[in-house]
Amino acid sequence: MRFDGKTVFITGAGSGLGRAAATRFADEGATVVAADLDLEGAEETIDRLEADGRAIELDVRDADAVQAAIDETVETFGLDVVVNNAGVSHDRARVEEIDLTERDRILDVNVAGVWNGCRAAIPHLTEQGSGAIVNTASLAGVIGAPQLGAYSLSKGAVVNFTRTVAAEVGPHGVRANAVCPGVTDTPMPRKNRSEEEWAATKSEMARHYPLKRLGRPEDVAGAMAFLASDDAAWVTGHALVVDGGFSCC
């Protein structure tokens, strides 16, 4: 298995893409540290795994807390892969209608959170001369998304920041890549929708994808695992679009 004997630290692991990533890495032999602001969700993720792991409560906006969590992971398990996945979105609105407090919330989680995760992990990974960072961006960070201006801004920043990190850590044997999902069936797009509303919305949106369905969390988790694995040993600074062909159209 590709991650036998390796430790993977994942933020936003209490649900959605983070939980799917934790499951995929654990299935491939990894010890998983599942971090989330929702400790109960992180604990549920770990309980579902048939592998060693630990759940921790973590607010990725808190740089000191992220540093402490990474340091403790290194001391307890070692560290091989960091998946900076925690993220939030906002209600659809035009740029001039988005409240500045809401904009700052998005940037604090989606941008500063990724920065904090990379900043905390890089010294450990570069010192050992190996490791991989996978940052969760979005298709919205590559092509933009009308009425999701703050979200698009944050995810575009993640894409370019990942390239910068890759250039800096590459000489030390460490890789950094981003995964850019299209709309995926997770709690984020389901927010404020009933099951019936979401089923109708999902069906309508799927018409615009060549593969005629939205993404599943497992689709993105597979891409994350690829980017973190030795199968991607010569891939760094890349923004891997996983969108069912939406950007082709």
Query: With 80 as the cut, is the pLDDT of residue 188 above it?
Result: no
Q: Is residue 98 part of a domain?
A: yes
Q: Is residue 91 part of a domain?
A: yes
Q: Is residue 17 part of a domain?
A: yes
- The whole-number pLDDT of residue 191 equals 73
Query: With 80 as the cut, is the pLDDT of residue 192 above it?
Result: no
Q: State the residue range of the domain holding 33.
A: 7-182+217-242
Q: Is residue 94 part of a domain?
A: yes
Q: How confident is the model at residue 93 (pLDDT cuts 50, 70, 90)?
A: very high
Q: How confident is the model at residue 52 (pLDDT cuts 50, 70, 90)?
A: confident
- The whole-number pLDDT of residue 50 equals 81
Strand order, beta sheet including 7-11: 53-57, 31-36, 7-11, 81-84, 131-136, 174-181, 239-242
What whole-number percentage of the chain has pLDDT above 90?
A: 83
CATH number of the structural domain spanning residue 236: 3.40.50.720
Q: Which amino acids are annotated catalytic?
A: 151
The count of domains in the chain is 1
Query: With 90 as the cut, is the pLDDT of residue 156 above it?
Result: yes
Q: Is residue 202 part of a domain?
A: no
> Considering only CA atoms, which of 33, 30, 29 is closest in space to residue 12?
33
What is the value of pTM for the model shown?
0.94
- The whole-number pLDDT of residue 201 equals 79
Q: Is residue 204 part of a domain?
A: no
Q: Is residue 195 part of a domain?
A: no
Q: Is residue 72 part of a domain?
A: yes
Give the start-end residues of each E strand in 81-229: 81-84, 131-136, 174-181
CA distance 187 to 192: 10
206 φ, ψ to 5°? -60, -25
Q: Which tokens hold the place of 126? A: 């570069």
CA distance 191 to 131: 35
What average pLDDT does this structure show over 9-31? 97
